[in-house]
Amino acid sequence: MSTHEAIIEAIEGDITTQRVDAIVNAAQSSLLGGGGVDGAIHRAAGPRLLAECRELRRATYPHGLPVGEAVATGAGDLPAGWVIHTVGPNRHAGQTDPALLASCFEHSLREAVKVGARSVAFPAISAGIFGWDPAVVAGIAIATVRGSSYLRELDLVRFVLFGAATHDAFNAALR
């Protein structure tokens, strides 16, 4: 019988330097880059990532990636093997449904398992430019990952947070 249990942890750091199989990008619907963690990931990954995103837009998502969905690409120059792009709900645009944010985490895990990743790093999706309270994001993130059936296929889910306050919020949610 398997006693496998994935580790779920939270650290303070920069997600672009993580040596995990897949990192998750808090993207925008256009998939063509932006500010925040999205900008940092595209800068560190280099032009191959943008080229893959442009191709995804052309071939699969001509109208952009919908909020709550997730899609995987290669990771360009990053140490990770894949980038999983997901679009969080934008509070400033009235997107306040927690189910939309939960679906970002769930669909990202699904994509990770689909490409064969065993370790995944997440940022605090929607807790920056999209205006969600980091403590609320932390609660939804941890509950969704813990409850996900995809967790059985993974060894590690690491939340990589910018700033002590967000890190504290995730540690509180883990306890």
Binding footprint of ligand AR6 on the chain (CB under 6 A) = 14-16, 26-28, 34-38, 40, 88, 123-130, 160, 162, 166
Question: Which of 29, 30, 63, 25 minimizes the C-alpha distance to 45?
Answer: 25
Active-site choice (14, 21, 38, 168): 38
Active site residue 21: no
Nearer to ligand AR6, 124 or 154 (CB): 124
Hey, what's the torsion of the CAs at 157, 144, 106, 21, to 10 degrees?
0
DSSP H or E stretch at residue 74: strand 70-74
- 3-state SS class at 111: helix
Q: Rounded to the nearest whole angstrom, what is the least distance from the CB of residue 1 to ligand AR6 in the complex?
A: 37
Nearer to ligand AR6, 32 or 115 (CB): 32
Nearer to ligand AR6, 16 or 148 (CB): 16
Enumerate the β-bridge partners of residue 11: 160
Angle at 39 between CA 166 and CA 110, to 5 degrees: 70
Alpha helices in the chain (DSSP H): 36-45, 47-59, 98-115, 134-147, 164-174
d(CA 159, CA 146) in angstroms, rounded, equals 13
Q: Rounded to the nearest whole angstrom, what is the least distance from the CB of residue 82 to ligand AR6 in the complex?
A: 16
Nearer to ligand AR6, 26 or 154 (CB): 26
Q: Rounded to the nearest whole angstrom, what is the least distance from the CB of residue 116 to ligand AR6 in the complex?
A: 24
Hey, what's the torsion of the CAs at 35, 100, 137, 145, to 10 degrees?
-110
Q: Rounded to the nearest whole angstrom, what is the least distance from the CB of residue 146 to ligand AR6 in the complex?
A: 20
Q: Could you give the residue numbers annotated as active site?
A: 38
